[in-house]
Amino acid sequence: MPKNKPENKNIEQIKQANLTWVNIKKPGKQEMAEAARKYNLLDVDIKDCLPPLQRPKLVERPDYLFMVLLFPVYVRATGKMESAEVDFFISKNRLITVHENKLTPLKELAEECQVDPGGICNNAASLLVEILSRLLKYCYPMIIHIGQDIDAVEKKVFEVHDSKNTFEILRIKINIVEFRDSTDLHEGVIRKLIKKAPLFLETKRLNAYLDSLVEHATEIRDQLASYAVTISAVDDTHRSLINLRANQIMKNLQIFAVIVFPLTLLAAVFGMNTLGAMPFINHAYGFWLILGIMLAGTFAMVMFFKSRKWF
């Protein structure tokens, strides 16, 4: 498969007899204006290829199908998920992909198509199915990683004194939300693609593969929904344990305050300068008698609280 040398380094064009794949990486206004002029693309679709991210959708145009999909990207440095947009311009003998070059499957597939001219990239329909299949399968390792994170935090959930658990639970919840925001609409968009694709592509031999894409999208959606329920339950348990511990601490402090207050009052009373009126003031063992009264009172209050099972 010959590869034309592009005028712009961000526009990669791979050609063969029945297909031209235009792979636009890190698109800016210049790249998209060039693509619009060269391939007769509508301005409204060109704008959707530029930031901010668009919602997943499929739109039929006179000369092509325009499809927007979002896929999650795991950022190892932060442990968080981000969404990466891929835009498709689909026509009979041409497929245009627009993306930020963050998705490994697209990079690898472009390299394979350059090396093997008679392989995957022999027509637009098979290339499109291959791209979507790889991008959907790319989600599975991240789903497994989320499951492992949930299992790990479940084992630590009773360590309520560890504040790291709270941040870890929040991180997982945010990742699931970001993942679902990216992929929840995939099933509907792909089903619409199955209906619209025959208008522009030869899909008779690819129907089974297209149906499998729907299955992948459904499985991803269902698994994320299950994880969302699980992490919410873990979060509720963790919050309940934190509240229980906080209540226990407050109860202990209140018991301590109740015990100390009478002792403080007694010490204040015996500290008044009322000579001749204060008992034990002139007694040889007055200090020890007062201390004994305080200790006896403390012991009595502790036994009373214990009998009521307040601690």
Is residue 114 assigned to a domain? Answer: yes
Where is the domain boundary, 244, 268, 292?
A: 244
Provide the pLDDT for residue 75: 92
Phi/psi region, residue 63 (left: phi>0; alpha: psi -120 to 50; beta: rest), is alpha
Is residue 123 assigned to a domain? Answer: yes
Is residue 153 assigned to a domain? Answer: no
Same structural domain for residues 215 and 263? no
- Tell me which of 29-43, 47-61, 237-251, 296-310 is least confident: 296-310
As given in the structure block, the two tokens for residue 37 are 């002029």
Mean local confidence (pLDDT), 88-93 = 93
Q: What is the pLDDT of residues 10-54, one digit of tens each?
A: 888 888 778 889 999 988 899 899 999 999 999 999 999 999 999
- Separation CA 118–CA 272 (nearest Å): 103
Same structural domain for residues 204 and 266? no
Where is the domain boundary, 244, 269, 294?
A: 244
The residue range of the domain holding 120 is: 3-147+161-244
Contacts of 144 (CB under 8 A, 6+ apart): none
Residue 61 is classified by DSSP as -
The residues facing 165 across adjacent strands are none
Provide the pLDDT for residue 275: 59
pLDDT at residue 67 tops 80: yes
What share of the chain in percent tops pLDDT 90?
51
pTM as predicted: 0.80
Mean pLDDT of the chain: 87
Residues in the chain: 311
Contact 252, 307 (CB under 8 A): no
Same structural domain for residues 263 and 230? no
Provide the pLDDT for residue 202: 81
Residue found under tokens 């919050």: 239
Total structural domains in the chain? Answer: 2
Same structural domain for residues 199 and 282? no
pLDDT at residue 2 tops 60: no
Longest CA pairwise span in the chain (Å)? 118
Provide the pLDDT for residue 13: 87
Same structural domain for residues 32 and 91? yes
- Separation CA 53–CA 68 (nearest Å): 9
Is the model more confident about 307 or about 190?
190
